[in-house]
Amino acid sequence: MEKLISKNLVSTNREEKGKKVFIKTFGCQMNVNDSERIKGILKTLGYEFTENWREADLILLNTCTVREKPDRKVLAYIGEYRKVKGINPNTKIGVCGCLAQRMGEELDKRAGGVIDIMFSSYNIHHLPELIQKAEKGEKAIEILSEPPKNEWEMFEYPTVRENPYWSFITIMKGCDKDCTYCIVPQTRGRERSRPIRSIINEIKELVKEGVKEIHLLGQNVTAWGKDFETPIPFSYLLYKIAEIEGVERIRFTTGYPTDLTDDVIKAMGEIPQIADALHLPFQSGSNRILKLMHRYYTKEEYLEKIEKLKEVKPNIALSADVIVGFPGETEEDFLETLDLIEKVRFEQLFSFKYSPRPGTPASEYSDQVPDDVKTERMHRLLELQKRIMNQEAKKYIGRVVYPLFERYEGGKLVGRSSENKWVEVESDRKDLLGKIVPVKVERAGVYVLRGRLMV
């Protein structure tokens, strides 16, 4: 690993020493993990990190384009950050991630030509060369249309993580589903699973560094292993990871309902380290809309999965994504969505108004739902969800939960429980940082549980 780093990174390092970089990340956890990798590369190059873009020598935006709103946000931020050129004309502006991938040089034109560096999520490891090119005053734009074969090599570079006790691990990239609303297959490419040895090695390294909880990431993690010459089931990977000494908790996001097969559910029941939480997007409760979305399951099948999950993990905290106002969605269809929400009683729900994405089939459907209808439905959905969350939170009172304490702030230990709830305890026991500790819950809000230590 050292050899790879020195060969590709350190050799370009000299002139960057003492320089400052400001990084702004939009979008999903895949982007957060990519930014951790970018930070690792920049740190190796000698960059320091700053929270103040005005003093940066390099401003980097890792972008998202899943809906129109993130698109607009990214453009607004570029508009703001370009002012840096008036403060320090040598500052470079770099843009990567999904919007860069989707728009390429067009994005630079829209931004008034202020972008110096642009790259794909496929070629993060080319950043040193791209910076060098930009330093010479040239535009350094390298958007690849496809991922290179050696894509996983960049996973051998060091990362800079926010927290020492838990870590994301990207296990697959891209998506082979064809959801008619979704831009991701265009921006992240076809499904590629990371080789098992590479995953296990990274986890072993992380455990050595003190990581207790790992969070497996992928657009569609439950499909991991399907694209290997000899396919390997995702459940096998879960058992293998659980065997690594020191792995105390395992999470994975995001799953696709039909790929959450019986063997995965069985593994979730059998492996004690797997968290009592699962994010399983359903997108709509109407079978008619699910079909139009090209989601290959029905409401009934989704509910059946949830039942099976609850059999093996009775306390599982469920979360999901849902889209409101997909083209053609009628009031009846929407009521089916509300019904599904009532039945499952999610502890967290991420709801989005349908947003047409360029080049996706649904954006061309003729029966687009007017925005005021989407907004009105969204209000009703949020009201329902608020009521459910308030009711569900109460069940935690008197229960013992097991947070992994990751921060000490203002006289409090703060950590996330197995159910993915923030837990706060008034205590000065800093020795408990990085440990999974029983806490008796005394007060329960929707997002935060407060209680006392049981140790």
Listed in sequence order, the residues at least 6 apart from 213 whose beta carbon sits closer than 8 Å to its beta carbon are: 165, 166, 167, 248, 249, 250, 251, 404
Which partner from the list ligand SF4, ligand 5AD, none does 117 bind, CB cut-off 5 to 8 Å by kind?
Answer: none
Pairwise CA distance, residues 355 & 396, whole Å: 36
**Identified binder of ligand SF4 from the candidate list 8, 187, 283, 385, rule CB under 6 A:** 187
Interacting partner of 281 out of ligand SF4, ligand 5AD, none (Cβ under 5 to 8 A depending on kind): ligand 5AD
Choose among ligand SF4, ligand 5AD, none what residue 173 binds, the Cβ cut-off being 5 to 8 Å by kind: none
Written as six digits, the tokens of 220 are 């569609």
Rounded Cα distance between 127 and 170, Å, is 19
354 contact, one of ligand SF4, ligand 5AD, none, CB 5-8 Å limit per kind: ligand 5AD
Q: Give dist(CA 65, CA 165) in Å, integer.
A: 30
| Residue 325: contacted member of ligand 5AD, ligand SF4, none (CB under 5 to 8 Å, by partner type) | none
Smallest distance, Å, CB 137 to ligand SF4?
30
- Distance CA(120)–CA(95), nearest Å, equals 9
Among 23, 98, 268, 439, binds ligand SF4 (CB under 6 A): 98
Shorter beta-carbon distance to ligand SF4: residue 83 or 110:
110
- The long-range contacts involving 158-164, CB below 8 angstroms and separated by at least 24 positions, are 158/5, 158/40, 158/43, 158/44, 159/33, 159/36, 159/37, 159/39, 159/40, 160/36, 160/39, 160/40, 160/43, 160/49, 161/36, 162/36, 163/406, 163/407, 164/209, 164/210, 164/211, 164/434
Which residue has the closest beta carbon to ligand 5AD? 321
Q: What is the DSSP string of 93-108?
A: EEEEEHHHHHHTHHHH
* Piece in contact with ligand 5AD (CB under 6 A), picked from 37-45, 347-355, 410-418, 424-432: 347-355
**Contact call for residue 65 and ligand SF4 (CB under 6 A):** yes
- The most distant pair of C-alpha atoms in the chain lies apart, rounded to whole Å, by 63
- Spell out the residues 6+ positions from residue 20 whose beta carbon is closer than 8 angstroms to its own: 47, 48, 49, 50, 55, 56, 57, 58
Least distance CB 195 / ligand 5AD (angstroms): 26
Q: Residue 6 region, left (φ>0) first, then alpha (ψ -120 to 50), else beta?
A: alpha
Q: Supply the minimum distance, in Å, between the C-beta of residue 39 and ligand SF4.
A: 17
Task: Please identify, among the stretches 36-44, 62-70, 244-252, 441-449, the one whose residues bind ligand SF4 according to the rule CB under 6 A.
Answer: 62-70
Residue 27 interacting entry, from ligand 5AD, ligand SF4, none, C-beta within 5 to 8 Å by type: ligand SF4
| Residue 319 touches which of ligand 5AD, ligand SF4, none (Cβ within 5-8 Å per kind) | none
* The one among 30, 66, 117, 217 contacting ligand 5AD by CB under 6 A: 66
CB of 442 to ligand SF4, least distance (A): 37
DSSP string, 372-404: HHHHHHHHHHHHHHHHHHHHHHHTTTT-EE--E
Minimum distance of ligand 5AD from residue 384's CB (angstroms): 17
CB 439 within 8 A of CB 403: yes
Which of 21, 60, 64, 216 is close enough to bind ligand SF4 by CB under 6 A? 64
x/- site string to ligand 5AD, residues 275 to 304, per CB under 6 A? ------x-x---------------------
Please choose, from the candidates 201, 205, 211, the residue with its C-alpha nearest in 3D space to the C-alpha of residue 250: 211
28 binds ligand SF4 (CB under 6 A): yes
Site string for ligand 5AD, 154-193 (x = CB under 6 A): ---------------------------xx-----------
- Residue 323 in the binding site for ligand 5AD (CB under 6 A): yes
Cα 437 to Cα 225, 404, 442, 453, distances in angstroms? 34, 7, 15, 7
Task: Say if residue 96 carries a ligand binding annotation.
Answer: no
Q: Which of residues 157-186 bind ligand SF4 (CB under 6 A)?
A: 183-184
Look-up of token digits 């923030």: 422
Q: Which is nearer to ligand 5AD, 29 or 201 (CB)?
A: 29
Bridge pairing between strands 192-193 and 213-217: unpaired
The CB-of-180 to ligand 5AD minimum distance in angstroms stands at: 9
Partner from ligand SF4, ligand 5AD, none binding residue 30, C-beta < 5-8 Å depending on class = ligand SF4
User: Which residues, in sequence order, are bridge partners of residue 405?
Assistant: 415
- Are 176 and 220 within 8 A, CB to CB? yes
Closest CA to 374 of 323, 299, 320, 321: 323
Q: Enumerate the known binding-site residues.
A: 28, 64, 98, 175, 179, 182
Positions that interact with ligand SF4 (CB under 6 A): 27-28, 30-31, 64-66, 97-98, 183-184, 187-188
Residues that bind ligand 5AD (CB under 6 A): 66-67, 181-182, 281, 283, 321, 323, 352, 354-355, 357
